[in-house]
Amino acid sequence: MQIAVTVRELKKHFTIHRRQRGAFGALRSLFSRQMQLVRAVDGVSFEIQQGELVGYLGPNGAGKSTTLKMLSGLLTPTSGELLVNGYVPWRERQKYVRRIGAVFGQRTTLWWDLPVIESLELLQHIYQVPAGRFDTNLREFRRLLELDEFLETPVRALSLGQRMRADLCAALLHNPEILFLDEPTIGLDVVAKERILQFIRHINRQRGVTVILTTHDLSDVEKLCERVMIIDKGRLLYDGSLAALRQRFGGKRQLIVHFAEEYPEVSVEGAEVAGRDGQRTTYLFDGATLTASELIGRLSARYRILDLEVREPDIEGTVRRIYEEKLLEKG
């Protein structure tokens, strides 16, 4: 498989004016300016294969958006190497932008006072999209994103969910090979979010578009991504599969058992009883030392079971635990 993105020791540092506190802080700043170096991205390296869908995670200020802005050519790195589909983004920007799509959750590429369809037609001319390709893509995206209800509506009158759907359509009309998504579902309701997630999954799997996704909503990552990268304080802390992240840091798994009758004692070796409600009992167990099938076998040998369910540690709890306990820094 061909490499779509190569990043080597990528850095982006900013120098900012540090405000002085106190009643006379503003006055002192006029005569003595204190500058502070901010290492927004500080030596990040990774590769992404063509057709991958990667979740790029981290808390506010970790460096996610700064990385995406360098990848999309909006920012020039302080140092390091960056190559996307054979292009150095900030050096070959005019050619490069014709090969990528980008959606930043709080900003739109559409014209505020124009109806959506007119914005899309303007983008067709800007990107020089052939009429046949434009018509085919627009027809497909109208169906997948349900655009018809607001195609003639000015962008300023759209809801957040409608605008995001229109922005996704705009970002993909010219058949980009790679798509950068920065918080594409922020502030959306459940229905709008699910429609957008289905669309992202479709263009990745059916069209082979490489997707890099930043989000604070970890349920998005669970639904879309097999690979995740975690960044904090400008440094890449983890790059691997979501399954391996769960296995390494996810804590204990749950086994929920519905017994055929209410037993006075339901303890079992290797698991902890986390809760009981009549004939329903929740066990916690360490998947590294005891498999679910082994635990079920131990319970079945002692009790009659009507139903059971195994639950994996949720990704949100896993990532929260990583940050709170600084697990990756220790490892």
Fold of 252-312: Alpha-Beta Plaits (3.30.70)
Q: Which amino acid is at 297?
A: G
Q: Do domains 3-247 and 252-312 have the same CATH topology?
A: no
What is the mean pLDDT of each successive set of 10 residues along the chain, which is 331 residues long?
Answer: 93 80 58 75 96 91 91 94 94 90 86 96 95 96 95 94 94 96 88 92 96 86 91 90 78 88 92 92 87 93 93 71 65 51
User: Within a 10 A sphere around the Cβ of 85, how many other Cβ atoms?
Assistant: 18
* Structure confidence by residue, pLDDT tens digits, 61-97: 889 999 999 999 999 999 999 999 999 999 988 899 9
- pTM value is 0.78
Percent above pLDDT 70 for the chain? 90
3-state secondary structure labels for all residues of 151-200: CCCEHHHCCHHHHHHHHHHHHHCCCCCEEEEECCCCCCCHHHHHHHHHHH
> Which residues are paired to 283 by β-bridges?
255, 273
**Which residue ranges make up each domain of the chain?**
3-247, 252-312
Mention the CATH class of domain 3-247.
alpha beta
Predicted confidence at residue 76, as pLDDT, reads 94
Backbone angles phi, psi at 279, to 5 degrees: -90, 5
Q: Quick one: pLDDT at residue 203?
A: 96
56 neighbors 28 (Cβ within 8 angstroms): no
Spatial separation of the C-alpha atoms in residues 238 and 230, rounded to whole Å: 5
Spell out the residues 6+ positions from residue 256 whose beta carbon is closer than 8 angstroms to its own.
280, 281, 282, 283, 308, 309, 310, 311
Q: Which two tokens stand for residue 183?
A: 């918080």
State how far the Cα of 4 lies from the Cα of 52, in Å rounded to an integer. 9
